[in-house]
Amino acid sequence: MHKQNKYTVSHAPFWHDGDTVTTLNQNIILAALPAAIFGILKFGAPALGVLALAVSTAMLWELAFNFISKREITIADYDSAAIGLLVGMMLPATAPWWIVLIGTLIAVVMGKMIYGGIGGNPFNPAVVGISVLLVSWNAIFDFDAALLNYEFGFTALAPLGALKHQGVAAMDLFQIKELAMGNQVGSIGTVFGAGIILGGIYLILRGYIRWEISLSYVAGILITAFLFRLVNPDLYASPLFHLFTGYTLLGAFFLAPENSSSPVNLTAMIIYGAMGGVMTILIRNVGSYADGTVFAILLINLINPLIDRIRPQALGKGVNNA
């Protein structure tokens, strides 16, 4: 027998659809860009500074953790870049550097790395980061104060803050179309509702997020807000107002469908999304925070392992795994 080549031997299947974690995260970042770029245009260089610092520090925290835990370096998968971008997008343009630093530290290290990195986190890392900031330094998230030095050509009031403090009468100050087109005061990446929807639709069409979660989340928001309004229109704002203000849309398309912390089975996804929408409106209308999106998402992340047990029966199995 003559000398033989060595052939690659591995297990079937021998084809792949070509997806990688890197392309997944690159697409998420791409989808978030319209809203982020709009924020930069609107709020100027400080917004760019916050986003750049958030993305870079998020990646550096992961790198540092890789070194400390003596693991393989995993920042090339862009996962912490996506987390950093989302954290940055939820901050006001004038957020001080140390807030960004702490936010990404908590998001990446406490939200993801200590659970073993990508895929192990029970909560959405970006939401963990923002929640801690929101509880610890609530004043930073007072968008009216944060953006005091800006001159806008529209009502310079944070819509949800106004709703909380002035009641439903404040709603007359805002038009839904203006809110959707980003003419509102808020965080860098969440003011431009139409842009977020655009990115969300892109992710849904390309199959990078689970559309069931996003749609049921939006449905949850709209239906709950509608019911509140039905009960007492003098006290509660309209469904569309809730949809286009605060972190709602970012929550629906980027935060709630985060892979690791959300369910994968159909019924579970619908319950999960709808619960998120319901909780968001409950916190806004009944609770003490102006915007409840991040806490609502933490809550649904919490019930995710439980409800994801609701799954279809596997082939040939009896009724015992519901």
Partner 1 sequence: MIKRSFIKLTGPRLLCDQVEPDPKKPETIPIPPRLVLLLHEPLDSTRETLIKKGDTVKRGERLFLYKESTEYAVSPVSGTITSIASYTGDFGTIATYFIVERDEKDTPSNGFAEIADTPNLKSADSFLRSLPGAPPLSRFTDPDCKINTLVIEGTDSDLMSTTRQYLLATSKEEIKRGIQILRQMTGVAKIAITVPENASDDLSAEGVQVFKISQVYPKALPQMIMQDHLEIIPVPGATCEDQGVTFMSIEAVISLAKAYAQKEPVFEKVLTVIAKDGTRHRVKAVIGTPLHRIFKQFKLQTNERDRIIVGGPMMGHAAYTLYHPVGPDTDTVQIQDRDAIPYVSDYPCINCGKCVRVCPANVPVNLLVRYLEADLYEEAADNFDLQSCIECGLCSYVCTARIPLFQYIQLGKHQLIELETEANNA
Nearest CB to partner 1, comparing residues 18 and 153: 18
Least CB distance to partner 1 at residue 7 (A): 6
Residues 23-62 binding partner 1 (CB under 8 A) are 24
Least CB distance to partner 1 at residue 130 (A): 21
Query: CA 2 to CA 254: how far, in whole Å?
Result: 58
Among 1, 139, 230, 231, binds partner 1 (CB under 8 A): 1
Nearest CB to partner 1, comparing residues 44 and 207: 207
Work out whether 319 is an interface residue with partner 1 (CB under 8 A): no
Work out whether 242 is an interface residue with partner 1 (CB under 8 A): no
Q: Which amino acid is it at 277? A: G
Nearest CB to partner 1, comparing residues 46 and 122: 122
Among 75, 201, 206, 238, binds partner 1 (CB under 8 A): 206
Q: Is 277 helix (H, G, I), strand (E, B) or coil?
A: helix
* Helix, strand, coil fractions of the chain, as percent rounded to 5: 60, 0, 40
Instruction: Select the span of 19-27, 158-166, 191-199, 240-248 touching partner 1 (CB under 8 A).
Output: 19-27
Work out whether 112 is an interface residue with partner 1 (CB under 8 A): no
Nearest CB to partner 1, comparing residues 187 and 304: 304
Work out whether 9 is an interface residue with partner 1 (CB under 8 A): yes
Contacts of 236 (CB under 8 A, 6+ apart): 168, 225, 228, 229, 285
Work out whether 164 is an interface residue with partner 1 (CB under 8 A): no
Per-residue binding letters, 71-110, with partner 1 (x by CB under 8 A): ----------------------------------------
Residue 183, burial from CB neighbour count under 10 angstroms (0-12, 13-18, 19+): middle
Work out whether 264 is an interface residue with partner 1 (CB under 8 A): yes
Query: CA 108 to CA 124: how far, in whole Å?
Result: 10
Instruction: Select the span of 52-60, 184-192, 232-240, 258-266 touching partner 1 (CB under 8 A).
Output: 258-266
Nearest CB to partner 1, comparing residues 139 and 205: 205
Nearest CB to partner 1, comparing residues 3 and 153: 3
Closest to 202 in 3D by CA, of 35, 317, 314: 35
* Cβ 89 vs Cβ 129: under 8 Å: no
- Token pair recorded at residue 292: 């409840």
Query: CA 32 to CA 90: how far, in whole Å?
Result: 12
Contacts of 280 (CB under 8 A, 6+ apart): 220, 221, 224, 242, 248, 251, 292, 293, 296
**Residue with token string 């619908």:** 270
Query: CA 318 to CA 322: how far, in whole Å?
Result: 10
Q: Which amino acid is it at 139? A: A
Least CB distance to partner 1 at residue 306 (A): 13
Write out the residues near partner 1 by the rule CB under 8 A. 1, 4-21, 24, 116-120, 204-207, 210-211, 259-260, 262, 264-265, 311-317, 321
